[in-house]
C-alpha cells in the first residue's frame, strides 16, 4: 500500500497545473515565452506570467552559454516555436544581460480583465526593452516657486565659484 | 693451537657484532663520526618517527567518491539542517568504516540482534537500491534463501550495524535494481559464504553490463516504460520489438528533457561537500 498519495498531496510541488496536462502546460508556456521574446513585453494572466518568468530567466541563462553550445541550441529551438527568434535570443538578448547574473524580467500587476471571468492580469517584460517604463519616474515640477528659487541660488553659486 | 684460533674467531665475531651494533643506530653513527671529525659536543638529532601500520582499517580507496546520501535534495529546508546531519554522519563514519559501494555490489552486513544466538546476524545480498539523504540513508540488500526471496532495508547510520563489508564491488547499468524481483531467481541469488573478491582501490569501478532475463508478465511494475529508463533487462525475450516501440511511444514524455524546472545541478554542491567531508574525516 502506498502511504503517500502522490496525486492528492502537493507538498513541495513548484510547478502549477495549467491547461489539460503536463504536455499542454509546457506547450502553453512555450507559446507565451515565444511571444515574450518577440515583443519583449506581454500581458497575460498572473499565474501564467509567474510560471513563464522562471522559464524566461532560465532561457537567458542557456542563451548566455552561446549558440555554439549544443544543449543551448536545442533548448532555444524547443522553447521558441518561431524559429526566426532564435538568432534574436542569442544575438540581442544574451549580450544585453551579460553583466547581470539574475533578474532579467520584471512583472507588474494590471487591473483585472474586462471579461466575465475578471481574471488577474499581469504584464511581463524583459529589462532593457525599448518601451516607456512600466513604473514611470516622476520628475519634480521645475516651475514651482521653491524650485525656481533653488535654481537661481545654484546658478549664483556657480557664478561666484567661476569668478 | 685450535683453542687459541677458536678464541680468536670468537673475538673477531664479537668485534664484528659490536661494530654492527655500533652502526645500526644512525644517531650513534652520526655522533661517532662527529667525534672523530672535530672535538665539539654532538648535535642533537631527533630519533626517527615510528611508522604505525593500522591493520584494522583496510586501505582507503583513492577514488574520488562522495556517498550519495551527503548530497542534499532539492527543497526549501534550511541548509543548516543538512550541515548538522553531515557532522553527525562523519562522526559515525569515524566509529564504523562505511565502505564505498554502488547499486549492484554484493555486501555482507552484520547487525546487532538481541534475539539471535551470538547477538549478531549476518546477511549477504546484492544492493538493489540506495535511498534517503542524511542520517536516514538506507540501502536494500536482496538475496534468495531456500527458494524464498528476502530483501532487507538497512539504515547506513544505524547504531545496530556492526560491520559492512563489500564482497564484490561493481556497478550495474541502472541505479535501481528493483526489477530483480521480477527477474529469474538466479540473478538475485548470492552465496552467503562467498569470499570477498579483491578489488583495486584505484581506477574505475567495473560496470557489469549484464542484461537480466525476466519471468513472464505481469511484473510488479511496467519496467518497459520509458519513465524507468532501464538498460539492464533483455526486453527482446519478453516482448516483440513492435510492442516495445508502441509502449515507448505511448508513455514517452519528450518535453521532460527540455523542462528546466526539473533540472537539479549538484556539481558545485558536490565539490563543496566533498571538500568539507574530506577535511572532517582527516581531522
Complex ipTM > 0.85: no
Can you give the pLDDT at residue B23? Answer: 47
CA dist list (Å): A111 to A37, A115, A121, B7: 23, 12, 6, 120
Note whether B264 contacts A: Cβ–Cβ < 8 A. no
Q: Is B175 left (phi over 0), alpha (psi -120 to 50) or beta?
A: alpha
CB contact under 8 A, B258 and A75: yes
Among chain A residues, the shortest Cα distance to B254 is held by A23
pLDDT tier for residue B118 given thresholds of 50, 70 and 90:
confident
Among chain B residues, the shortest Cα distance to A12 is held by B75
Q: Name the more confident of B6 and B230.
A: B230
Average pLDDT over residues B192-214: 91
* B260 → closest Cβ in A12, A22, A58: A58
* Three-state DSSP state, B31: helix
CB contact under 8 A, A26 and B76: no
Contacts of A62 (CB under 8 A, 6+ apart): A69, A71, A72, A75, A76, B260
pTM (predicted TM-score): 0.77
CA distance to partner chain A, nearest, from residue B261 (Å): 8
Residue pair A58/A36 in contact (Cβ under 8 Å)? The answer is no
pLDDT tier for residue A7 given thresholds of 50, 70 and 90:
confident
What is the dihedral sign for C-alpha A35, A41, A42, A48? Answer: positive
DSSP character at residue B7:
H
Average predicted confidence (pLDDT) for chain B: 87
Instruction: Show the cell assigned to B116.
Output: 539471535
A11-46 per-position pLDDT tens digit: 889 999 999 999 999 999 999 999 999 999 999 999
* Three-state DSSP state, B173: coil
Instruction: For an interface test with B, give the residue of A65, A78, A104 to mutate (most B CBs within 10 A).
Output: A78
Q: Name the more confident of A7 and B246.
A: B246
CB contact under 8 A, B258 and A14: no
CB contact under 8 A, A15 and B253: no
Percentage of chain B lying above the pLDDT 70 cut: 83
Find the range with the poorest average confidence among A24-33, A120-129, B35-44, B61-70: B35-44
Collect all residues of chain A within an 8 Å Cβ-Cβ radius of residue B261. Answer: 14-15, 54-55
3-state secondary structure chain A: CCCCCCCCCCCCCCCCCCCCCHHHHHHHHHHHHHHHHHHCEEEEEHHHHHHHHHHHHHHHHHHHCCCCCHHHHHHHHHHCCCCCHHHHHHHHHHHHCCCCCCCCEEEEEECCCCCCCCCCEEEEEECCCCCCCCCCCCCCCCCCHHHHHHHHHHHHHHHHHHC
Instruction: Show the cell assigned to B94.
Output: 569515524
Collect all residues of chain A within an 8 Å Cβ-Cβ radius of residue B251. Answer: none
Q: Which of B101, B72, B122, B215 is nearest to B167 (CA)?
A: B101
What angle separates helix A46-64 from helix A22-39, to the nearest 10 degrees? Answer: 70
CA dist list (Å): A84 to A38, A87, A96, B147: 9, 7, 18, 64
Can you give the pLDDT at residue B53? Answer: 61
Can you give the pLDDT at residue B55? Answer: 53
B65-95 per-position pLDDT tens digit: 999 999 999 999 999 999 999 999 999 999 9
CB contact under 8 A, A22 and B255: yes
Collect all residues of chain A within an 8 Å Cβ-Cβ radius of residue B76. Answer: 12
B126-171 per-position pLDDT tens digit: 999 999 999 999 999 999 999 999 999 999 999 999 999 999 999 9
Can you give the pLDDT at residue A2? Answer: 57
A38-95 per-position pLDDT tens digit: 999 999 999 999 999 999 999 999 999 998 999 999 999 999 999 999 999 999 999 9
First-last CA distance in chain A: 92
* Three-state DSSP state, B114: coil
Using alpha carbons only, give the angle B209, B212, B216 rounded to the nearest 5 degrees: 165
Note whether A153 contacts B: Cβ–Cβ < 8 A. no
The strand pair at B207-208 and B171-172 is best described as parallel
3-state secondary structure B180-217: HHCECHHHCCCCCCCCCCCCCCCCCCCEECCCECECCC
CA dist list (Å): B151 to A15, B105, B154: 35, 15, 10
Can you give the pLDDT at residue A18? Answer: 95
Instruction: Please state, in angstroms and rounded to a whole number, the distance separating the CA atoms of residues B121 and B124.
Output: 10
CB contact under 8 A, A55 and B261: yes
CB contact under 8 A, B76 and A12: yes
Interface size A-B, in CB pairs within 8 Å, comes to: 23
Note whether A12 contacts B: Cβ–Cβ < 8 A. yes
Find the range with the poorest average confidence among A33-42, A108-117, B202-211, B240-249: B202-211
Structural element, H or E, at residue B150: strand B148-155
Among chain B residues, the shortest Cα distance to A25 is held by B255
pLDDT tier for residue B16 given thresholds of 50, 70 and 90:
low
**In this model, does residue B27 exceed pLDDT 70?**
no
User: Which residues sit opposite B123 in a β-bridge?
Assistant: B109
Using alpha carbons only, give the angle B124, B217, A8 rounded to the nearest 5 degrees: 85
pLDDT tier for residue B49 given thresholds of 50, 70 and 90:
confident
Collect all residues of chain B within an 8 Å Cβ-Cβ radius of residue A23. Answer: 253, 255
pLDDT tier for residue B13 given thresholds of 50, 70 and 90:
low
Contacts of A147 (CB under 8 A, 6+ apart): A140, A141
Instruction: For an interface test with B, give the residue of A17, A26, A28, A104 to mutate (most B CBs within 10 A).
Output: A26
Note whether A75 contacts B: Cβ–Cβ < 8 A. yes
What angle separates helix A46-64 from helix A70-79, to the nearest 10 degrees? Answer: 150
Amino acid at each position: 500500500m502506498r502511504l503517500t498519495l502522490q496525486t492528492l498531496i502537493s507538498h513541495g510541488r513548484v510547478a502549477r497545473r495549467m491547461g489539460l496536462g503536463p504536455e499542454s502546460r509546457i506547450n502553453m508556456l512555450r507559446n507565451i515565452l515565444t511571444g515574450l521574446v518577440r515583443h519583449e513585453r506581454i500581458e497575460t494572466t498572473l499565474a501564467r506570467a509567474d510560471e513563464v518568468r522562471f522559464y524566461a530567466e532560465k532561457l537567458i541563462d542557456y542563451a548566455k552559454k552561446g549558440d555554439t553550445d549544443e544543449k543551448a541550441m536545442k533548448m532555444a529551438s524547443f522553447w521558441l516555436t518561431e524559429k526566426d527568434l532564435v538568432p534574436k535570443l542569442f544575438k540581442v538578448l544574451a549580450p544585453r544581460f551579460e553583466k547581470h547574473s539574475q533578474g532579467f524580467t520584471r512583472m507588474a500587476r494590471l487591473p483585472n480583465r474586462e471579461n466575465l471571468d475578471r481574471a488577474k492580469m499581469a504584464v511581463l517584460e524583459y529589462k532593457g526593452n525599448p518601451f516607456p517604463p512600466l513604473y514611470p519616474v516622476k520628475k519634480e515640477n521645475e516651475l514651482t516657486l521653491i524650485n525656481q528659487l533653488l535654481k537661481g541660488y545654484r546658478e549664483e553659486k556657480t557664478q561666484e565659484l567661476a569668478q | 693451537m685450535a683453542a687459541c684460533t677458536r678464541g680468536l674467531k670468537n673475538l673477531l665475531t664479537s668485534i664484528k657484532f659490536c661494530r654492527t651494533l655500533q652502526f645500526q643506530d644512525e644517531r650513534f653513527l652520526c655522533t661517532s663520526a662527529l667525534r672523530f671529525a672535530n672535538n665539539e659536543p654532538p648535535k642533537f638529532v631527533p630519533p626517527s618517527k615510528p611508522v604505525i601500520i593500522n591493520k584494522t582499517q583496510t586501505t582507503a580507496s583513492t577514488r574520488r567518491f562522495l556517498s550519495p546520501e551527503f548530497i542534499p535534495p532539492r527543497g526549501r529546508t534550511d541548509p543548516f539542517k543538512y550541515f548538522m546531519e553531515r557532522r553527525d554522519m562523519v562522526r559515525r563514519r569515524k566509529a564504523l568504516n562505511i565502505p564505498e559501494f554502488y547499486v549492484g555490489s554484493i555486501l555482507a552486513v552484520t547487525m546487532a540482534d538481541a534475539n539471535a544466538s551470538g547477538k549478531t546476524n549476518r546477511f549477504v545480498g546484492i544492493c538493489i537500491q540506495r535511498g534517503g539523504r542524511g542520517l536516514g540513508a538506507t540501502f536494500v540488500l536482496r538475496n534468495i534463501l531456500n527458494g524464498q526471496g528476502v530483501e532487507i532495508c538497512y539504515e547506513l547510520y544505524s547504531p545496530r550495524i556492526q560491520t559492512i563489508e563489500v564482497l564484490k564491488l561493481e556497478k550495474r547499468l541502472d541505479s535501481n535494481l528493483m526489477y530483480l524481483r521480477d527477474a529469474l531467481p538466479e540473478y538475485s541469488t548470492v552465496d552467503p559464504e562467498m569470499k570477498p573478491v579483491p578489488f583495486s582501490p584505484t581506477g574505475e569501478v567495473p560496470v557489469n553490463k549484464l542484461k537480466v532475463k525476466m519471468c513472464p508478465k505481469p511484473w510488479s511494475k511496467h519496467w518497459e516504460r520509458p519513465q524507468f529508463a532501464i538498460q539492464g533487462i533483455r526486453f527482446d525475450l519478453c516482448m516483440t520489438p513492435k510492442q516495445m516501440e508502441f509502449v515507448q511511444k505511448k508513455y514517452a514524455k519528450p518535453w521532460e528533457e527540455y523542462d528546466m524546472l526539473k533540472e537539479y545541478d549538484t556539481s558545485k554542491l558536490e565539490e563543496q561537500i566533498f571538500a568539507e567531508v574530506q577535511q572532517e574525516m582527516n581531522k
